[in-house]
Chain A
Amino acid sequence: MRVLVIDDSRAMRSILSKIMSEIGFDVVAAAHGREGLERLREDDGIGLVLVDWNLPEMNGYEFVQAVRADPAYDDVRLIMVSTETERERVLKALDAGVDEYVMKPFTRATIVEKLAFLGLADG
């Protein structure tokens, strides 16, 4: 399965990309929400997106709303990965349709476990 990693920090993109490819995913990356939507449109092999909240151009929350508004992406799983750690933020993201929420900083084990909840990796 292909995963799309959206984060404006190059370091974070490379950390997440490394973890995901070690787990066995093909990785594509984007630096903001709008670029993320473009990647998603041109590549129907993407089954999972890891998206940061605070992004230029289109933020992660708007990205999630856009994806969830389009039935073509109903099967795409979304995980928000963010420094925002207030309970209200997590709730808001879940309401918008993310499947899981990872608070930064995280460890590789956190990612693996969240994927296991979604049936996308072995716990």
Chain B
Amino acid sequence: MRPENFIFLRSLMRQHAGVLLEEGKEYLVLARLGPLARRESWGSVDELISHLRSRPNGELRRQVAEAMVTTETSFFRDVHPFQTLKDVIFPDLIERRAGSRTLRIWSAACAAGQEAYSVAMLLKEHFGDLPGWHVRIVASDVSSAMIERAKLGSYSQLEINRGVPSHLLTRHFERDGLQWRVNEDIRQMVDFRQINLATPFPPLPEMDIIFARNVLIYFDENTRREVLRRLAGNLRKDGYLFVGGAETMIAYSDLFYRLQIDRTSCYRPRR
């Protein structure tokens, strides 16, 4: 691909989502943007980018940025964080919040919504309807296409096969053609919003649990620190932050301290 197009794309990704596109990742660009270029009838990825350079177009720009980021996810991803939520964290929070009877959970890079719905199903299964409580799950992503998918809550068999225990499948999903759709009562526990973590957040209530899993990896060093600083500011001081299994927080120990619960690491903000 043409060097000037790669440089342009790098700065676009930085501005759009604080995403770091390293030198030498041209192959990645071709793999990610190829399908978009074909779908929109451009001769090549270069043609698509050249066009965008000469004629700024917000919609195309957004599509390009969204296509550059992986949205791979699954229900109950990594299994043990959810085990820990069930065994330790929810019982703890339900005790601590007995006064306010409010629980707020944020899936901050929700992709197609599996993380948020996993939490909703887990709550429903093990803690019932928590009568008299106000329980809200916010699910957000920078990609509006992902938010639309997540709202719909409809998944292919392959997506379901990954991660959904069979007894939950029969209780919380209905077949919808070849897809499986999350039942209405679970969908209603989640509010969906488009939020770019790399820019200042819109007003949000303080959260009891934040999931920022497998998204920090896309940010450059400075952006990541800024994002974590804002997340710390939006998390209650006895709340819990989850990051991805492969993401280390050592460099941010001034913002968060680590809690090791069974096999799960989570983080609390330093105040």
Contact = CB atoms under 8 A, between A and B. Distances in A.
A91 B170 contact: yes
A90 B174 CA distance: 12
Contacts of A114: 165
Interface residues of A, number: 22
Contacts of A85: 157
B79 A113 contact: yes
Interface string A100-123: 111101110110011011000001
Question: Could you say which of A85, A86, A123 has the most chain B C-beta atoms within 10 Å of its C-beta?
Answer: A123
B79 A116 contact: yes
A9 B99 CA distance: 59
A73 B128 CA distance: 33
B167 A110 contact: no
B174 A110 contact: no
Contacts of A109: 162
A61 to B, nearest CB: 15
B161 A90 contact: no
Interface string B202-224: 00000000000000000000000
Interface in B173-228: 173-175
Question: Could you say which of A107, A109, A117 has the most chain B C-beta atoms within 10 Å of its C-beta?
Answer: A117
Contact of A100 (B74, B78, B160, B165): B165
A106 B157 CA distance: 9
Contacts, number: 44
B166 A100 contact: yes
A19 interface: no
B80 interface: yes
B163 interface: yes
Contacts of A87: 169-170, 173-175
A117 B175 contact: no
A49 to B, nearest CB: 15
Question: Could you say which of B78, B166, B167, B174 has the most chain A C-beta atoms within 10 Å of its C-beta?
Answer: B166
Contacts of B174: 87
Given A90-B170, A94-B166, A102 B79 contact: no
A102 B170 contact: no
Interface string B147-168: 0000000000110111101110
Contacts of B162: 107, 109-110, 113
A105 B161 CA distance: 9
B163 A90 contact: no
25 contacts: A85-B157, A87-B169, A87-B173, A87-B175, A90-B170, A91-B170, A93-B166, A94-B166, A94-B170, A100-B166, A101-B166, A101-B169, A102-B161, A103-B160, A103-B161, A105-B158, A107-B158, A109-B162, A110-B161, A113-B76, A113-B79, A113-B163, A114-B165, A117-B165, A123-B78
Top 9 closest A-B pairs, CB basis?
A123-B79, A101-B166, A110-B161, A91-B170, A116-B79, A117-B165, A87-B175, A100-B166, A90-B170
